């Protein structure tokens, strides 16, 4: 490990402890905390890839039910985590498990489209995780999964403000800590909510990093279903973050 990855791991541990005592009520029925029951895999992700300063930080919103909820890795589509990222780890069970959203870890046969698109693009463009993480890092703003009584996914932006005030305080502090540790020059919000979080926290941290947004890869977005990879590449190349031609191929 490096001092950088050590510091990122410590920040994640602190965030996990802070969020652990929070209570939520309707419409929230069940909360999953992947940084607790999937900590082994999440820690491996940070240990392997949060090494040294990064030029670009990608920020997602929160875990998806078939991605990070299962693997502990941001946008953690199972095959991408196992194949491209080469991460393994014991996955436990949440304190309270919704019968319609079982945690099966790497045995889960569902594929999260958002994660498949994200890591698929990075693999296609950079070829190896070492090449990608040499200058990039990916993290979620909030590491909690929220569900209603019917197991429908509830994203943080859809929760009542009265329930998210303290959570936002903890997640903002964690993101601010990451900006200080990783010192990125460009902050990329994966979707509008993440971009807003970056704007708020970067100002608070006194960061001069450039902030931009890319289209969220969720299949719930019609635009994302019409050439998500091409749209994101066009944005990042147009902003001078990526070169016009693929820098590396597998």
Q: Give 8-49 pLDDT, tens digit per residue.
A: 999 999 999 999 989 999 999 999 999 999 999 999 999 999
Measure Cα distances from 198 to 5, 46, 79 in Å: 21, 20, 29
Task: List the beta bridge partners of residue 202.
Answer: none
pLDDT surpassing 60 at residue 246? no
What is the fold, at CATH topology level, of the domain defined by 3-235?
Uracil-DNA Glycosylase, subunit E (3.40.470)
What DSSP character marks residue 82? I
Q: Say what the pTM is.
A: 0.95
Confidence of residue 1 (pLDDT cuts 50, 70, 90): low
Backbone dihedral angles phi then psi of residue 127, each to the nearest 5 degrees: 85, -45
Residues in contact with 134: Cβ distance below 8 Å, sequence separation at least 6, in sequence order: none
Contact 51, 5 (CB under 8 A): yes
> Which pLDDT score is estimated for 146?
97
pLDDT surpassing 80 at residue 248? no
DSSP 3-state assignment of 80? Answer: helix
Confidence of residue 250 (pLDDT cuts 50, 70, 90): very low
> Which pLDDT score is estimated for 249?
43
Query: pLDDT digit string (tens) for 89-135?
Result: 899 999 999 999 999 999 999 999 999 999 999 999 999 999 999 99
Mean of the per-residue pLDDT values for the chain?
94
The strands making up 210-214's β-sheet, listed across from edge to edge, are: 136-140, 56-60, 186-190, 210-214
Residues in contact with 140: Cβ distance below 8 Å, sequence separation at least 6, in sequence order: 59, 60, 61, 62, 63, 68, 74, 75
């Amino acid at each position: 490990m490096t001092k950088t990855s050590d510091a990122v791991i410590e920040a994640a541990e602190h965030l996990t402890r802070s969020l652990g005592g929070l209570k939520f009520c309707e419409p929230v029925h069940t909360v999953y905390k992947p940084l607790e029951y999937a900590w082994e895999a999440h820690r491996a992700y940070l240990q392997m890839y949060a090494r040294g300063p990064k030029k670009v930080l990608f920020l997602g919103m929160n875990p998806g039910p078939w991605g990070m909820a299962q693997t502990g890795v941001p946008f953690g589509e199972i095959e991408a985590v196992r194949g491209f990222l080469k991460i393994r780890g014991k996955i436990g069970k949440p304190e309270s498990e919704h019968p319609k959203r079982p945690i099966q870890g790497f045995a889960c046969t569902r594929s999260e489209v958002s994660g498949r698109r994200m890591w698929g693009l990075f693999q296609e463009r950079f070829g190896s995780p070492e090449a990608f993480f040499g200058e990039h890092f990916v993290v979620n703003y909030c590491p909690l999964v929220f569900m209603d009584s019917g197991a429908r996914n509830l994203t943080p932006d859809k929760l009542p403000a009265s329930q998210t005030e303290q959570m936002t305080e903890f997640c903002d502090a964690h993101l601010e800590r990451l900006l200080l540790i990783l010192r990125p020059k460009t902050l990329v919000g994966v979707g509008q909510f993440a971009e807003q979080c970056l704007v708020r926290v970067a100002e608070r941290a006194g960061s001069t990093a450039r902030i931009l947004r890319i289209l969220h890869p969720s299949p719930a977005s019609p635009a994302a279903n019409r050439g998500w990879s091409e749209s994101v590449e066009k944005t990042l190349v147009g902003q001078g973050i990526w070169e016009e031609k693929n820098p590396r191929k597998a």
